[in-house]
């Protein structure tokens, strides 16, 4: 089963060609149901979230049982739209005319073909459309994905004789602007298409034509004319939906970073048409099972997938939880991670069953992939993104606003020199907003860490604690909550390990003193651990890391207590005091020492360090008078 197991391709186009997407590997989601029902016109999601999978599934045979057309402009077509301008019209409105013309031509082609196939009586309005398409060279739809030839022709004139309009320069006998002339010509064409739909009564008798626009990100460049191109698309889609009614259904698949960057006066009119794709951990589990069944057979169960093929647990976590918490919540990442685990076990190690070591090895490689992919995903919008990652390298994955501000100061001059056009956004607050928006950082709210997606609030000014997403921690070397030096006892332990224990007859006072000093170290450890248990507002990972290191101090003290050799108790006490001072300093340096709920932890650790030094008679040794016999 491991050899046969495959979770599909990362891109929907190849997935369709390989057949997995159509053999049960497609998971119907809320976005898919909204698209099929016609309830939503805008399907918005991040790269790899499944937009094109929905589109490809609808375009495939049996996906949408009616006429359909997919528009995905190539670079040449995108450049033509971006630079399209008309005298007398603002940029958004001019580009909306391009998209309106595109929709009208696709609708006209559909009406003519549909009338020929499903209607015996030829309507005059349909004949007029057929003549228009022929006269303007738009009869052939080619591959259905480019722009009609008439886009540039609109700069000059369209032949509208098919609709009884002979004058092409001005329609009313008066000089008009270039934009007004093109708009009036387009009105004639659109009314002709709408009349043909009305005459055929297709809105009541047949399924609507489905017009889809996908992969605009291939021709988008974060420049004003690119944003104007997308705004024009939205305006045109809204116009066409109202004009053609139930005869034409439009679906626009837009990347969330593109859509969210738009700012135009009509933007509030599209909220009812929006649906944002959001994936939960359970949905990704369902997707994994569906794709697993498509490759190895419908009888595959959850227990087989996550207990027989994959190991039941990895690093103490349920395997599915481990995997899906370490990838961004989208199908492409999940598919890549799952396939990488399978390839590591079967191709690299030649196993019949996957082991925990296979998953851990794949996890390290996957983290490297995703850190690089994130900077490439946002290369157009945030070209400086990869230069921000060193701020989080080889440190704890929990970072406070204050600590990030300190780190940013050291890099600010370089960032501003390399990216002067983005200097206004490259400040600590701007960096936090950007990294939260792309999913790199999550913000702590109560006992949860929230990452961008869905309807979550943006980062608020009062929020101070942030977490690097699990997906990127291994690539950054940030696998611990905070950067805490591991406790390594010196002095006493080294002498015990080397067998250099003083076996002479000790004096009772020294034995008692050493024993009591060890008990004071134990007391300090218990005091700190008890305080850790009450520091509920401190990140759980940080609490675990601090508790683990204090526990090492405690275990060492318990091992030495009861039979210390001459001077060892004092050495170990000073060693523990020094470590506690260092630990408190690291807490303060991370910013967590001043965060709500954790200031008391850092302060207590400092207090215990000072107390231990006083018991030893000072920082450099004992006066010999701290304890009696």
Q: Give the pLDDT band of residue 246 (cuts 50, 70, 90).
A: confident
DSSP 8-state secondary structure symbol assigned to residue 294: H
pLDDT value at residue 505: 42
| CA 222 to the chain's CA centroid | 19
Distance CA 582, CA 575 (A): 11
* End-to-end C-alpha distance for the chain, whole angstroms: 72
pLDDT value at residue 370: 96
Neighbours of 576 (CB within 10 A): 27
DSSP 8-state secondary structure symbol assigned to residue 11: S
629 or 482, higher pLDDT = 482
Proportion of the chain above pLDDT 90, given as a percent: 37
pLDDT at 228 over 80: yes
pLDDT value at residue 441: 96
77 or 424, higher pLDDT = 424
Q: Are 557 and 369 in contact (CB under 8 A)?
A: no
Minimum mean pLDDT range among 13-22, 165-174, 364-373 = 165-174
Provide the angle, in degrees to the nearest 10, between the axes of the packed helices 124-135 and 178-200.
140
pLDDT value at residue 627: 39
Distance CA 431, CA 467 (A): 14
Helix (H) or strand (E) holding 610: helix 599-616
Among candidates 135, 152, 141, 136, which has minimal Cα distance to 113? 141
Q: Residue 71: phi, psi to the nearest 5?
A: -110, 115
285 or 64, higher pLDDT = 285
Query: What separation in angstroms does the CA of 135 have from each of 129, 131, 140?
Result: 10, 6, 12
pLDDT value at residue 155: 52
Distance CA 434, CA 386 (A): 12
Q: Which residues of 366-388 are buried (b: 16+ CB within 10 A; e: fewer)?
A: bbeebbebbbebbeebbebbebb
425 or 164, higher pLDDT = 425
pLDDT value at residue 563: 54
User: How wide is the angle at C-alpha 245 spanned by C-alphas 244 and 246, nearest 5°?
Assistant: 115
Burial class (CB in 10 A: 0-12, 13-18, 19+), 472: buried
User: Which CATH architecture fits 492-616?
Assistant: Up-down Bundle (1.20)
Handedness of CA 284, 24, 254, 34 (dihedral sign): negative
Q: Residue 292: phi, psi to the nearest 5?
A: -65, -45
Distance CA 468, CA 371 (A): 11
Q: Are 629 and 508 in contact (CB under 8 A)?
A: yes
pTM: 0.78
Distance CA 251, CA 51 (A): 11
Note the pLDDT tens digit of each residue in 106-120: 999 998 988 888 777
Structure-token match 């933007």, residue found: 267
pLDDT value at residue 80: 77
What mean pLDDT do residues 516-539 have? 84
Query: What separation in angstroms does the CA of 198 have from each of 181, 244, 547?
Result: 26, 9, 74
Minimum mean pLDDT range among 25-34, 99-108, 195-204 = 195-204
434 or 71, higher pLDDT = 434
Among candidates 295, 327, 364, which has minimal Cα distance to 48? 327
pLDDT value at residue 147: 59
Distance CA 425, CA 413 (A): 13
pLDDT value at residue 78: 77
pLDDT at 497 over 70: no
SS3 529: helix
Structure-token match 């060892």, residue found: 568
209-213 and 274-276: which strand pairing? unpaired
What mean pLDDT do residues 502-518 have? 58
In the predicted model, what is the mean pLDDT of the chain?
Answer: 83
Distance CA 195, CA 244 (A): 9
Secondary structure (H, E, C), 39-91: CCCEEEECCCCCHHHHHHHHHCCCCCCCCEEEECCCHHHHHHHHCCCCCCCCH
pLDDT value at residue 20: 62
Note the pLDDT tens digit of each residue in 174-195: 566 778 888 888 899 999 999 9
Q: Are 393 and 440 in contact (CB under 8 A)?
A: no
Q: Indicate the domain borders of the chain.
A: 30-276, 281-377, 385-476, 492-616
Q: Give the pLDDT band of residue 586 (cuts 50, 70, 90).
A: confident
Query: What separation in angstroms does the CA of 339 have from each of 67, 205, 247, 358, 541?
Result: 36, 46, 42, 12, 29
What mean pLDDT do residues 522-549 have? 85
Distance CA 253, CA 427 (A): 33
Minimum mean pLDDT range among 82-91, 280-289, 432-441, 510-519 = 510-519
Minimum mean pLDDT range among 69-83, 382-396, 435-449, 493-507 = 493-507
pLDDT value at residue 32: 87
Among candidates 212, 223, 219, which has minimal Cα distance to 261? 223
Distance CA 353, CA 319 (A): 14
């Amino acid at each position: 089963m491991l050899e046969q197991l495959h979770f599909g391709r990362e891109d929907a186009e190849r997935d369709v060609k390989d057949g997995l997407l159509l053999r049960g590997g497609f998971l119907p989601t809320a976005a898919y149901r909204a698209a099929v029902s016609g309830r939503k016109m805008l399907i918005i999601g991040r790269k790899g979230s499944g937009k094109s999978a929905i589109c490809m599934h609808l375009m495939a045979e049996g996906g949408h049982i009616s006429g359909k057309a997919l528009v995905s402009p190539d670079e040449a077509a995108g450049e033509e739209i971006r630079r399209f301008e008309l005298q007398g019209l603002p940029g958004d409105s001019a580009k909306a005319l391009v998209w309106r013309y595109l929709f009208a031509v696709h609708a006209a082609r559909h009406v003519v073909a549909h009338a020929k196939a499903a209607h015996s009586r030829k309507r005059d309005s349909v004949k007029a459309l057929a003549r228009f398409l022929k006269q303007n060279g738009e009869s052939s739809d080619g591959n259905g994905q480019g722009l009609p030839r008439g886009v540039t022709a609109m700069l000059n004139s369209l032949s509208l004789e098919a609709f009884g309009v002979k004058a092409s320069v001005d329609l009313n006998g008066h000089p008009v602007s270039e934009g007004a002339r093109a708009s009036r010509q387009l009105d004639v064409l659109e009314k002709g298409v709408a009349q043909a739909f009305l005459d055929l009564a297709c809105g009541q008798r047949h399924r609507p034509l489905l017009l889809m626009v996908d992969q605009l990100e291939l021709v988008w460049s974060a420049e004003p004319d690119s944003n104007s191109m997308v705004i024009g698309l939205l305006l045109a889609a809204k116009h066409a939906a109202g004009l053609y009614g139930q005869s034409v259904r439009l679906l626009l698949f837009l990347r969330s970073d593109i859509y969210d960057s738009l700012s135009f006066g009509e933007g509030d009119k599209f909220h009812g048409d929006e649906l944002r794709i959001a994936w939960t951990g359970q949905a990704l589990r369902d997707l994994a099972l569906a794709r697993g069944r498509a490759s190895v057979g419908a009888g595959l169960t959850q227990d087989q997938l996550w207990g027989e093929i994959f190991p039941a647990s990895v690093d103490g976590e349920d395997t599915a939880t481990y995997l899906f918490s370490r990838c961004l919540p989208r199908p492409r990442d999940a598919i890549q991670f799952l396939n990488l685990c399978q390839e590591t076990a079967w191709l690299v190690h030649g196993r019949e069953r996957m082991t925990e070591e296979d998953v851990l090895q794949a996890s390290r490689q996957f983290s490297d992939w995703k850190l690089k992919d994130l900077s490439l995903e946002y290369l157009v919008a945030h070209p400086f993104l990869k230069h921000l990652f060193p701020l989080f390298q080889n440190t704890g994955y929990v970072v406070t606003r204050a600590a990030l501000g300190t780190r940013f100061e050291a890099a600010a001059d370089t960032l501003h020199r390399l990216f002067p056009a983005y200097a206004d956004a490259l400040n600590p607050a701007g960096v936090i907003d950007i990294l939260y928006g792309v999913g790199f950082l999550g913000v702590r709210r109560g006992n949860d860490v929230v990452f961008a997606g869905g309807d979550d609030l943006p980062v608020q000014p009062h929020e101070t604690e942030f977490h690097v997403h699990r997906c990127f921690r291994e690539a950054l070397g940030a696998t611990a909550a905070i950067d805490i030096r591991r406790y390594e006892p010196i002095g006493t332990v080294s002498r015990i390990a080397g067998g250099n224990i003083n076996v002479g007859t000790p004096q009772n006072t020294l034995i008692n003193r050493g024993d009591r000093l060890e008990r004071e170290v134990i007391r300090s450890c218990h005091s700190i651990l008890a305080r850790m248990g009450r520091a509920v507002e401190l990140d759980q990972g940080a609490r675990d890391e601090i508790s683990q290191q204090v526990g090492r101090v405690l275990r060492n003290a318990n091992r030495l207590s009861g039979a210390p050799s001459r001077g060892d108790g004092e050495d170990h006490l000073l060693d523990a005091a020094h470590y506690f001072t260092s630990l408190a300093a690291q807490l303060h340096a991370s910013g967590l020492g001043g965060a709500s709920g954790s200031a008391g932890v850092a302060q207590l650790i400092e207090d215990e360090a000072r107390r231990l030094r006083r018991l030893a008679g000072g920082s450099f040794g004992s006066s010999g008078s701290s304890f009696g016999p």
